[in-house]
Structure 1
Amino acid sequence: MRCENLRTLVVLDSYARDISIGWREILQWKYVRTLTWLESGIWAIPNEISGLIHLRYLDLSENGRLEELPDTMELRGIERLTNLQTLDEFYVQYGDEGNKLEHLKNLNQLQGRLTITYQRQRGPGVGDAAIMVNKVHLLHLVLNVEGALRWNDLMALQPPPGLESLGIDRYRGIPLSTDWWSSLHSLRLLTLSRCGFLPSLGNLASLESLNMKYVNVRKVGVEFLGIHDQDQSEASRRRHTSFPKLKQLTFDDMPIWEEWEGVKEDSEKMAKIMPCLSQLTISGCYSLEALPEFLWKTPLQKLHIRKSRILQKLYRQGIGEQRDKISHISTINVEEP
């Protein structure tokens, strides 16, 4: 096969099919810039791959037999790739060898989406605050703590202020403070999954979609709305809006959640609460006793309740004790308990 000027090569599932292309041919195509080799069953990469001097993108996903990269690639340690723009996933590993969180510090040209999966016991330290904050082109970030491990001091890892979406999975360490969230002025989508606390989020000015799953709390208090600051003047509190742009809100699989606290009448007069909320979904919240009154003053258009026994009895059509409170909502789906 004569492909001396080939720029892009994609090989899919060559392990299952009889593909004759091998490293001997690839290493002769000196102008290859993009190499994607998926599900191939390869177990080693030759050192000569360093001869592909124009290679800019290498994807070896789903090659379960591949155990390590050749020395010639490891010498190009990721911390030295300061112009790297795309990094889909980064694994912080156990022990002294392997990837470390600080290897990301100077990769400030990263853009698009990044998932950080943390696989070792020690969390970010005080000196790690600047590792992510300068990545101004990064728009989507997922922080994943595998198994029972914890980032005990995630507050030290300040996220980039330009993030548009953020996911935090399996974090059960120190609750993140209001200050930690305050810099996320552009955040539109937030997903919290399998976390041990629910932060104060009502002051996120751009947040449009909030999804919470397996969040281990018994009560969602008014602090969640961001109206807990008693030091503000009455005039300042009167101008406050909680979740000013939130449109979609989901609580999913929170079986121990019992109470969603409402607000006192004087607090309600001093703050607008979720003035753009149009869709609320509650699923798998078996112990939740009622929905707060302030929800019926939002422009809610779609309400979906499922696998939440108490709420299903309260709001189901015809015989629900509080069905009249939601009669103004145009689309209601309350599944039978």
Structure 2
Amino acid sequence: MAETLINLLLERLASVTVNRIGRELQLVIGVDDEVANLSRNLRLITNVLQDAERQVTEASMGEVTGASVGDWLNELNQVSHEMDDVLDEWCTEILKHEQEGVNPTEALEIPEGSNKGGIIETAPRTKEKFLTKEECFSMEVKGADEMLELPSSNSFRHFTLMFASQGLSSILSSQNCGNLRTFTTFASTIYSIEPEFITSLKRVRTLNLSSTALGVVPKEVGELLHLRYLDLSDNGFMELPDKIGDLYNLQTLRLVRCYNLLKGPDLRKLINLKHLYVQGSLRLESKGISRLKSLQTLDEFHVSEDTREEGLLEDLENLDKLQGALSMQHLASPLQTVSGAKRARLNTKRLLHLELNFRCDCRRRIRRGEAEGAILNALKPHPDLESLSILGCRGATSTPTWLMSLPNLKRLTLYIRYLEDLPALGTLSFLESLDIKMTDKLQKVGVEFLGINRISSSSSSEVISFPKLKHLTFSFMDEWKEWEEVDSQNIRIMPCLSSLEVRNCRKLKALPEFLWKTPLKSLTITSCPILHSVYYGSERCHWTTYGEKPAPINEGFNKISHIPEIRIGYEF
């Protein structure tokens, strides 16, 4: 384990000497010699560790005696961790000066017992790579008045506190916490954390205080300069201290479901931040997010509703490393513009899952429909997109112009209030789930929805509409009256369809016959009085497959009776 850590330290030093010697490290007088000496020492320790670990293994097999070998190895482990801390402090100091705009020609004094250096590009270090059983420790709080204390051994690095139900200072002494790299809580309600305890975690890399009913975050958290991972999710605090914005080494920040959080730190100094999670913290506006060019994960982007300084669509412009999933909230805010939406350049970010949510609580919501529709058209995503949700858009009468240029789309949700027609969605070869809801103007779903003409004109092979569609849902379509029938003799329609739901479509007169040729396994028709009559014989009904069949059985019921699971009636 220690050997692995030493090798990682050597990689960091190599990064320093090769990549930064011409710039940041010129700030430090004599830094070349410091790096060379530290590298030599690390290589010597590596050789000693290899020999020591061999001796420990042989001792455990009875080949070598002497209990001191294990102690010796632990001491070397401790030294390697201390070296790691020195490197971290060294690099953080240079990064801090860079962010504060210190003149790079000014030499920095090296405090006694510490080093300084430039930014280093470290490879991600996973716990699995060098974590040992002896380094992990957990404590379970059993009594309300019980005071716990970590063992005095220097080998413990990763600590988990379980089932605590009061302030940390009441149950856990800060003594012996100085060497911890990980501090996490599990099923604990601790309410508050004393500044002294946070200060004692001076070497911690991972701090997880999620779901602890934490009411106030101590500002001392911002002094944990080694911190890489901070999780404060599912807590009730209303603001975060500004000093959290000084955590230069932070790579992951989780603030999920912090519903009361109104004020967050300025993020612009967190240039190493790669993962930011704020889902559910809808009142939080991310300040300085436009500077986070290393950001790879952003689960929600909260568009500003009341300030022109933060939370604008153009803040995403230079975040080209974004990938995975992104939910964009409050897009109908009057502060957003079409030019800002274009500058967001979503098509350059390899997002696979995208939610465009126009629902907005502000009273000054965009009144000009064409503006909201234009913003939707300007937010063209990456062509690799697999999942798309458009929610609450009131300013468009058609789907965005780029929708049919997403060849890999698998899941699609459309909630466009004044949608008048549907495009040829049947031509999307990989679409598996389609949900269309809350349209006030759509009156007819025609054959163009199946894309038959486009398919037949572009291919001489068998014509298949919606070749992979499995789940189809229509709901709350107040004016929808007709779903056009089509002669399916020379075409296969929805050959994989297993689930169909039609909810609150009160004017729809009938479902097309081609649906009964699909391999449907589940059919749900709720709050659609005309369809109730057609397929059950009564508007007011509440029937499932396991209930008593209608008497007399009508023609409509015979058409659907082969489907294994059926629900017809008002909401179940």
TM tier, smaller: 0.7 to 0.9
For the pair 1:152 / 2:364, whether they are aligned, the reply is no
Number of equivalenced pairs: 327
Displacement of 1:87 in angstroms is 0.4
Name the structure where helix makes up a greater proportion of residues.
2
Secondary structure, counterpart of 1:31 in structure 2: coil
- Between 246-255 and 98-107, report the one with greater CA deviation: 98-107
Distance in 2 of aligned mates of 1:56 and 1:293: 55
- C-alpha contact (below 8 Å) 2:506/2:530 kept by paired residues: yes
Of residues 218, 226, 234, the one that matches 1:31 is: 226
Alignment of 1:58-69 (within 5 A): 58-61=253-256, 62=258, 64=260, 66-69=262-265
Q: Calculate the aligned-residue CA RMSD, in Å.
A: 3.1
Displacement of 1:74 in angstroms is 9.4
Highest RCO, 1 vs 2 (Cα 8 Å, sep ≥ 6): 1
Name stretches of at least 5 consecutive residues in structure 2 with no aligned partner: 1-173, 175-199, 272-286, 537-548
Alignment of 1:116-195 (within 5 A): 116-117=328-329, 118-121=331-334, 122-125=336-339, 128=342, 131-136=345-350, 138-147=351-360, 149=366, 151-153=372-374, 154-176=376-398, 180-195=402-417
Alignment of 1:279-294 (within 5 A): 279-294=499-514
Of residues 108, 112, 123, the one that matches 2:320 is: 108
Distance 1:237 1:73, change over 3 A: same
Secondary structure, counterpart of 2:396 in structure 1: coil
Q: What TM-score, normalized by structure 1, do the two folds share?
A: 0.84
Displacement of 1:93 in angstroms is 2.4
> Which AA in structure 2 matches 1:91?
H
Q: Counterpart of 2:478?
A: 255
Q: Counterpart of 1:57?
A: 252
Distance in 2 of aligned mates of 1:127 and 1:163: 18
Secondary structure, counterpart of 1:224 in structure 2: helix
For the pair 1:227 / 2:452, whether they are aligned, the reply is yes
Name the structure where strand makes up a greater proportion of residues.
1
Displacement of 1:308 in angstroms is 1.3
Q: What TM-score, normalized by structure 2, do the two folds share?
A: 0.52
For the pair 1:3 / 2:226, whether they are aligned, the reply is no
For the pair 1:324 / 2:558, whether they are aligned, the reply is yes
- C-alpha contact (below 8 Å) 1:312/1:336 kept by paired residues: no
Displacement of 1:115 in angstroms is 0.5
Displacement of 1:33 in angstroms is 1.2
The alignment-based identity, stated in percent, is: 39
Distance in 2 of aligned mates of 1:260 and 1:129: 39
- C-alpha contact (below 8 Å) 2:303/2:312 kept by paired residues: yes
For the pair 1:211 / 2:422, whether they are aligned, the reply is no
> Which AA in structure 1 matches 2:386?
E
Distance in 1 of aligned mates of 2:359 and 2:570: 36
- Between 87-96 and 181-190, report the one with greater CA deviation: 87-96
Distance in 1 of aligned mates of 2:533 and 2:348: 50
Divergent runs of 4+, >6 A: none
Secondary structure, counterpart of 1:190 in structure 2: strand
